[in-house]
């Protein structure tokens, strides 16, 4: 490697390995502070736990505009468990429409099918999304439950969730709506009082930038009432039990107080940044798009469906997604990700999550430029 290239890469290298992968994501400063000071000082049945729970619930209600009648539930398990919680707490006779626009949306539908549910799938090619018109046409078949995905992490596609919810409600206000917001919650303005989903779920290790120690699902009053009519709900995913405990600022089984403290700290951090965080996320993905265009690369997502929390970008000829990911780690101390599943070889995925600054994104993209422009040299061809 020439001295010039080595100096360039050294100047662009992050001092410690920095996560730019779409989850688990780099911890935010507020979360890091909680972790550095954490000591176990009370049990989950102590008054202090209830105070902590109440504060976290209050901040969730404020940040996501959750009406009094709905309820945020806080868990020590990850987001996928909440896919299954929806199954356990809805009648087995329910006819469900699920999406397949990538691996995660497909998997949620599969979870229902594996439990013997009647599930119809509305699919789109990878990179494409679902338009309100496409959903509207499908709804004529008659459903009790529609499962949507706000942001498909395997492809970097975001859906216009407000418009899709409107279409469902217009078709029939009786249809329940579940939304997987695992990789977007926190990054865009979501008002639960206007969106009115019945289940809105996410994991903590994405835009919340917390270690993988929990998840949240906001449930509507009618979803809670419906659950009471369902038999054989099991134990760990019994929504009725979780709601009954949450009313007393408790949880049926142990949820780490660390989870509560991290969520509270992150929500306060979000509130301090305010709506500017939505613009920052857009600026980060705009920089990713501009970088791709500058290098003659393209996004997997179709125009209009670009995710605000990650971009899936093609790799230059002769490179592979895993190869560029490994090079970014070696030369820049930056962890990006290859494309997902069948797109792994031809793409990389770069997150725009948590508290990542425009300066940090600029540094990463400059570093990737240096790598791709000097690929042969870095790989021993000269
Ligand atoms: C959109 C989406 N849904 C669900 C999941 C599963 O979440 P978890 O691994 O937290 O259970 C993921 C994980 O990456 C995801 O990206």
Q: Which of 237, 252, 272 is the last residue of a domain?
A: 272
d(CA 27, CA 37): 15
What's residue 282's pLDDT? 98
Co-location of 88 and 212 in the same domain: yes
Cα–Cα distance measured from residue 208 to residue 353, given in angstroms and rounded to the nearest whole number: 8
Residue 25 lies in a domain: no
Residue range 169-186, pLDDT digits in tens: 999 999 999 999 999 999
CA of residue 377 to ligand 1 center, whole Å: 37
| Residue 93 sits in the same domain as residue 222 | yes
The answer to whether residue 292 scores a pLDDT higher than 90 is yes
> Is 224:240 a contact under the CB 8 Å cutoff?
yes
Do the Cβ atoms of 115 and 83 come closer than 8 Å? no
Q: Which of 98, 102, 104 to mutate to test the pocket of ligand 1 (most atoms within 8 A of CB)?
A: 104
Q: Looking at the CA of residue 81, tell me the nearest atom of ligand 1.
A: 11
Task: Give the integer Cα–Cα distance in Å for 378 and 382.
Answer: 8
- What pLDDT, in 10s, does the model give residues 107-118? 999 999 999 999
Straight-line distance from the first to the last Cα atom of the chain, in angstroms, rounded to the nearest whole number: 8
Would 152 be classed as within a structural domain?
yes
Same domain, residue pair 114 and 249: yes
79 CA from centroid of ligand 1 (Å): 6
Q: Domain check: are 227 and 333 in the same one? A: no
84 lines ligand 1 (CB under 6 A): no
How many Cβ atoms from other residues are within 10 Å of residue 6's Cβ? 11
- Residue 268 to residue 191: CA distance in whole angstroms: 17
CA distance 87 to 90: 6
- Does ligand 1 lie within 6 Å of residue 203's CB atom? yes
Domains contained in the chain, number: 2
Q: Is 103 in the pocket of ligand 1 (CB under 6 A)?
A: no
Q: Are residues 10 and 58 in the same domain?
A: no
pLDDT tens by residue, 242-287: 999 999 999 999 999 999 999 999 999 999 999 999 999 999 999 9
> From start to end of 140-273, where are the E strands?
145-149, 151-152, 157-158, 176-180, 199-203, 215-219
Residue 104, in any domain of the structure: yes
Give the pLDDT confidence of 314-370 residue by residue, as tens digits.
999 999 999 999 999 999 999 999 999 999 999 999 999 999 999 999 999 999 999
pLDDT tens digit sequence for 34-75: 999 999 888 888 899 999 999 999 999 999 999 999 999 999
CATH number for the domain spanning 9: value is: 3.90.1150.10
| Position with higher pLDDT, 41 vs 301 | 301
Nearest partner of 103 among 45, 50, 182, judged by Cα: 182
What average pLDDT is seen over the chain? 97
Q: How far apart are CA 295 and CA 287, in angstroms?
A: 12
CB distance 180 to ligand 1 below 6 Å? yes
Regarding the beta carbon of 82 and ligand 1, being less than 6 Å apart is answered no
Report whether residue 209 contacts ligand 1, using a CB cutoff of 6 Å: no
Same domain, 14 and 71: no
Indicate whether 124 and 231 sit together in one domain: yes
Residues 143 and 283 in one domain: no
Domain shared by 89 and 188, yes or no: yes
Task: Report the residue among 151, 153, 308 best suited for mutation to probe ligand 1: largest number of ligand atoms under 8 A from its CB.
Answer: 153
What is the rounded (10 degree) CA torsion for 304, 356, 72, 181? 30
Provide the residue range defining the domain that includes 44: 30-272
Query: Ligand 1 pocket, 78 CB below 6 A?
Result: yes
What whole-number distance in Å separates Cα of residue 157 and Cα of residue 151?
6
- Of 327, 310, 311, which Cα lies nearest the Cα of 319? 327
pLDDT in tens, 140-152: 999 999 999 999 9
Taking the centre of ligand 1 as the mean of its atom positions, its distance from the CA of residue 216, in whole angstroms, is 12
Same domain membership, residue 350 and residue 313: yes
The whole-number pLDDT of residue 381 equals 65
In-domain check, residue 149: yes
263 and 287 share a domain?
Answer: no
Nearest CA to 134 out of 169, 99, 110, 162 is that of 99
Please give the distance, rounded to the nearest whole angstrom, from the Cα atom of residue 182 to the centre of ligand 1: 6
- Which one of 272, 307, 339 terminates a domain? 272
Confidence grade of residue 23 (pLDDT, cut at 50, 70, 90): confident
Residue 239 near residue 89, CB atoms below 8 Å: yes
Q: Both 212 and 311 in a single domain?
A: no
The Cα 88–Cα 233 span in angstroms is: 5
Please, which residues have CB within 8 angstroms of residue 119's CB and are 6 or more apart in sequence? 96, 97, 98, 109, 112, 113
**pLDDT for 380 beyond 90:** no
Is residue 153 within 6 Å of ligand 1 at its C-beta? yes
- Would you say 193 and 65 are in contact if contact means Cβ atoms under 8 Å apart? yes
Atom of ligand 1 nearest to the CA of 215: 10
């Amino acid at each position: 490697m020439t001295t010039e290239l080595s100096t360039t890469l050294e100047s662009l290298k992050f001092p410690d390995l920095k996560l730019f992968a779409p989850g688990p994501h780099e911890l935010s400063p507020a979360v890091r502070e909680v972790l550095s000071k954490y000591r176990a000082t009370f049990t989950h049945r102590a008054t202090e736990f209830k105070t902590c729970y109440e504060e976290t619930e209050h901040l969730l209600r404020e940040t996501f505009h959750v009406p009094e009648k709905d309820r945020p539930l806080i868990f020590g398990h990850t987001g996928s468990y909440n896919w299954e919680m929806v199954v356990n707490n809805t009648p087995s006779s329910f006819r469900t429409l699920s999406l397949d626009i990538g691996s995660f949306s497909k998997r949620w539908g599969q979870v229902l099918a594996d439990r013997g549910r009647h599930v119809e799938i509305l699919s789109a090619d990878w990179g494409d999304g679902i338009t309100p018109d496409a959903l509207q046409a499908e709804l004529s078949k008659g459903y009790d439950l529609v499962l949507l995905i706000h942001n498909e992490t395997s492809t970097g596609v975001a859906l216009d969730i407000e418009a899709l919810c409107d279409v469902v409600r217009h078709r029939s206000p009786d249809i329940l709506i579940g939304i997987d917001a695992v990789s977007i919650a926190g990054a865009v303005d979501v008002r639960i009082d206007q969106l009115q989903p019945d289940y809105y779920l996410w994991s903590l290790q994405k835009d919340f930038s917390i270690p993988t120690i929990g998840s949240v699902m906001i449930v509507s009053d009618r979803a809670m009432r419906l659950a009471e009519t369902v038999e054989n709900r099991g134990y760990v995913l019994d929504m009725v039990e979780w709601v009954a405990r949450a009313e007393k600022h408790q949880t049926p089984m142990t949820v780490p107080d660390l989870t509560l403290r991290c969520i509270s700290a992150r929500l306060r951090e979000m509130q301090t940044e305010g709506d500017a965080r939505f613009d920052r996320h857009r600026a980060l993905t705009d920089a990713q798009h501009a970088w791709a265009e500058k290098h003659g690369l393209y996004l997997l997502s179709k125009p209009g469906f670009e995710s605000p929390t990650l971009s899936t970008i093609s790799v230059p000829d002769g490179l592979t997604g895993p190869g560029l990911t490994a090079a970014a780690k070696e030369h820049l101390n930056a962890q990006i990700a290859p494309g997902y599943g069948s797109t792994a070889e031809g793409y990389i995925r770069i997150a725009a999550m948590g508290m990542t600054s425009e300066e940090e994104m600029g540094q990463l993209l400059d570093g990737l430029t240096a790598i791709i422009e000097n690929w042969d040299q870095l790989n021993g061809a000269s």
